[in-house]
Structure formats: C-alpha cells, structure tokens
Amino acid sequence: MKQSTQYTISLIVSFALTVIGAMFKIVHWEGSSSLLSAGLICGLPFIYLGITDVYQNKKQELLVKLMWTVGFIFISSITGLVYLNQYQKHNSN
C-alpha cells in the first residue's frame, strides 16, 4: 500500500472516530471516551507519516518543517487535512 493511501485512510478513520466520539460526549452516551481514544490512536500513524514526509522533502526550509511538525502534534486533524490537500496538489503537477 502506498504511503499516501495509508496517510489518507488513517486520517479519515481518525477524524471520523474523533467526531463520533465528540458527538457521543455531547449527548452523554456511553462509549465516548473509547471512541475518542481510538481516534487518537488511529491518528498516530498519519502524524508519523506526515512528519516523516515533511522531513524527507529536501525543498522545504527548516522553519517550514518545524511549522508542519508543531501543527501535526498540536492540531493534527486540521493540519492533516491541509497537508493532504497540499500533497495532492503537489503530486498532480
């Protein structure tokens, strides 16, 4: 399986589990903590794949690499979506 496919699948599963877990938490249903935890665990592969892809890119400056790293660690879902969009644009050219 290609790295971009693994990244996309991991991002989608993580995002879906986190959103569903948050909805469960809002309506006070049981299992919300498990879903949120599963979303976090499923997010680890896409964080790792994203950071390794950023650091393998020789064209980016160190400051840009650090920005992506901080984004992936602290706001991983949003950064993951932005990075996926940028990755698809970069590979289509």
Sequence spans of domains, the chain: 3-92
Q: Whole-model pTM?
A: 0.76
Distance CA 22, CA 86 (A): 27
User: What is the mean predicted confidence (pLDDT) over 74-85?
Assistant: 86
Distance CA 7, CA 43 (A): 9
- How high is the pLDDT of residue 7? 83
Helices and strands counted in the chain (H then E)? 4, 0
User: What is the mean predicted confidence (pLDDT) over 1-23?
Assistant: 87
User: What is the mean predicted confidence (pLDDT) over 7-35?
Assistant: 92
User: What is the mean predicted confidence (pLDDT) over 6-24?
Assistant: 91
- How high is the pLDDT of residue 84? 83
Distance CA 80, CA 77 (A): 5
Considering 30-34, 75-79, 89-93, the range whose residues carry the highest mean pLDDT is 30-34
